[in-house]
Amino acid sequence: MNLLMCPVCREALHLTEKTWSCVNKHSYDVAKQGYVNLHVVQHKHSKNPGDTPESVQARRAFLSAGFYAPLQHAVVTKIRELKINNLLDIGCGEGYYTDAMQAEVSQCIGVDIAKNAVQVAAKLNKKVTWVVGTGATLPVLDASIDLCTSLFSPIPKQEILRVLKPNAYLMVVTPATEHLYAMREALFEEVNPHESHKFVEQLEDAFELLEECVVESAFTVQQTDLKNLIAMTPYAYKAKPERRQVLEQSEQFKLTGQFQIYLFKKK
């Protein structure tokens, strides 16, 4: 069953050879890398929205080295337990988590606003439907999705409610209190703990919190991996350049990734 929606008229899209089209003859070609761009001009607020190519490449290099593998494993295990048919990964980025999720469902859609990220992701796994699109108008049909996932990504609440089936699920992954604390301490004069629980408060009127857990990953990074980690986070532009420079001169650095996983059910 096809799940994609035309971003112009909101009718169902159907794939014929290498073109997605709707009854109103709006059509979208599948790019040679294997993704479709459903981020139409009228929904754009900038020419190249989302992550920069540098940030995407840094994230690909860091994640493929396995530092966040415990989180990937925890997410996949949870999806396996849910025994669902399809999922939509919102803010899929370069596809590290989406690629692993795909094996647990019949249909998997990865959407991200950054075209350069989706181009990289599309080379990973041809079984995923990779889409350039925006959370402001998720490019899938009403009440068609069993699970929406948002890992370190925005949570477009009303759109998620629109696309989820009744009693379907939402999984949110966000930094836990102590996430990368040593790195933040090196980059900033004052370190504020992550407030992951704010997402629960934002969603509690429409979603029931079923489960929450914290996953930890302790690791030591060499200089190259440390530079990639900084480059893939918002700290890259939030920290003072001189503090970043000092940290990047470290030959190796001990860190702990601490991730908060929430599983919600649509009320």
The reply, when asked if residue 108 is annotated as ligand binding, is no
What is the per-residue burial (b if ≥16 Cβ within 10 Å, else e) of 165-174? beebbbbbbb
What is the per-residue burial (b if ≥16 Cβ within 10 Å, else e) of 98-136? bbbbbebbebbbbbbbbbbbbbbbbebbeebbbbbbbbe
The reply, when asked if residue 194 is annotated as ligand binding, is no
Residues 6+ apart with CB under 8 A from 150: 89, 90, 91, 170, 171, 172, 173
Per the document, the length of the chain is: 267
The reply, when asked if residue 148 is annotated as ligand binding, is no
- Please state whether beta strands 19-21 and 27-29 pair in parallel, antiparallel, or not at all (unpaired): antiparallel
Q: Quick check: 45 and 52 in contact, CB under 8 A?
A: no
The reply, when asked if residue 26 is annotated as ligand binding, is yes
The reply, when asked if residue 22 is annotated as ligand binding, is yes
The reply, when asked if residue 213 is annotated as ligand binding, is no
The reply, when asked if residue 9 is annotated as ligand binding, is yes
Residues 6+ apart with CB under 8 A from 205: none
The reply, when asked if residue 94 is annotated as ligand binding, is yes
**Which residues define the annotated binding site for S-adenosyl-L-methionine?**
68, 94-95, 179
- Known binding residues for Zn(2+) are 6, 9, 22, 26
Known binding-site positions = 6, 9, 22, 26, 68, 94-95, 179
